[in-house]
């Protein structure tokens, strides 16, 4: 069947995959390979639940890390337009630290640090105050390329998220939106 739903003759290529004569796409299990990534080996539909973006920023790792590890600075560079405010004095220093952030809904989120290496890596899991973590994680990784350039990777991992009310927003957290945060962060860090 072609991508347009019409039944077309199928031939086998050298690897014994079917080739749709209408599109020329190699297909397996009747689906174009470009779409097969969404299907698991058990035939069940799956979706990518980790989004990531990477960019080199013309600033040293310490400067960039300070902007991330100080929650009161995060609303300045948030490319998701989700963060509103965090009280000063919550600078993160270790795994287990918790900072509180007010989000666009006017509610607070506790953010527990689950990964931390000063100047290199920080990750947190948000939750509503008094409730268990929802199953998603925000991570920042910094890799110095030189004394004045740092490779910045921003990742959103929602592979553990089960709350249906949060799924829509999670699906909208794409690599492009994560890059928006990196771009804003870069603008602030590069200004010095």
132 to 66, 99, 109, 111: CA distances (angstroms): 28, 15, 11, 11
- State whether residue 99 is helix, strand or coil: strand
Burial of 166 (0-12, 13-18, 19+ CB in 10 A): middle
Q: Which of these, 102, 59, 50, 68, lies nearest to 181 by C-alpha position?
A: 68
Q: Which of these, 114, 107, 147, 95, lies nearest to 131 by C-alpha position?
A: 107
100 to 31, 84, 109: CA distances (angstroms): 45, 11, 6
* Highest mean pLDDT, choosing among 30-34, 35-39, 59-63: 59-63
Query: How confident is residue 105, by pLDDT bands cut at 50, 70 and 90?
Result: confident
Domain ranges for the chain, please list them: 1-46, 50-191
In this prediction the pTM is 0.74
User: pLDDT tens digits for 111-122?
Assistant: 999 999 999 999
Q: Reply yes or no on whether the pLDDT at 94 is more than 80.
A: yes
Answer for the pair 184, 57: CB distance below 8 angstroms, yes or no.
Answer: no
> What does CATH list as the number for 50-191?
3.30.530.20
The structure tokens listed for 115 are 């990964």
The structure tokens listed for 191 are 């200004």
Answer for the pair 180, 80: CB distance below 8 angstroms, yes or no.
Answer: yes
User: pLDDT tens digits for 159-172?
Assistant: 999 888 889 889 99
Answer for the pair 173, 51: CB distance below 8 angstroms, yes or no.
Answer: yes
Scan for tokens 């199953």, then name that residue.
Answer: 135
Count of beta carbons in the 10 Å neighbourhood of residue 157: 19
């Amino acid at each position: 069947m072609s991508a347009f739903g019409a039944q077309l003759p199928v031939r086998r290529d050298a690897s014994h995959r079917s080739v749709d004569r209408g599109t020329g796409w190699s297909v397996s299990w009747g689906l174009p390979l470009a779409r097969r990534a969404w299907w698991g080996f058990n035939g069940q539909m799956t979706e990518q639940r980790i989004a990531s973006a990477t960019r080199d920023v013309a600033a040293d790792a310490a400067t960039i890390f300070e902007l991330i590890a100080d929650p009161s600075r995060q609303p300045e560079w948030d490319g998701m337009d989700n963060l509103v405010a965090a009280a000063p004095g919550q600078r993160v220093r270790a795994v287990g630290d918790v900072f509180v952030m007010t989000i666009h809904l006017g509610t607070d989120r506790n953010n527990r640090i689950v990964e931390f290496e000063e100047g290199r890596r920080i990750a947190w899991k948000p939750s509503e105050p008094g409730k268990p973590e929802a199953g998603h994680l925000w991570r920042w990784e910094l890799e110095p390329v030189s004394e004045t350039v740092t490779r910045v990777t921003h990742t959103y991992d929602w592979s553990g998220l089960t709350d249906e009310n949060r799924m829509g927003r999670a699906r909208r957290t794409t690599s492009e939106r994560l890059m928006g945060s990196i771009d804003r962060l870069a603008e602030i860090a590069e200004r010095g």
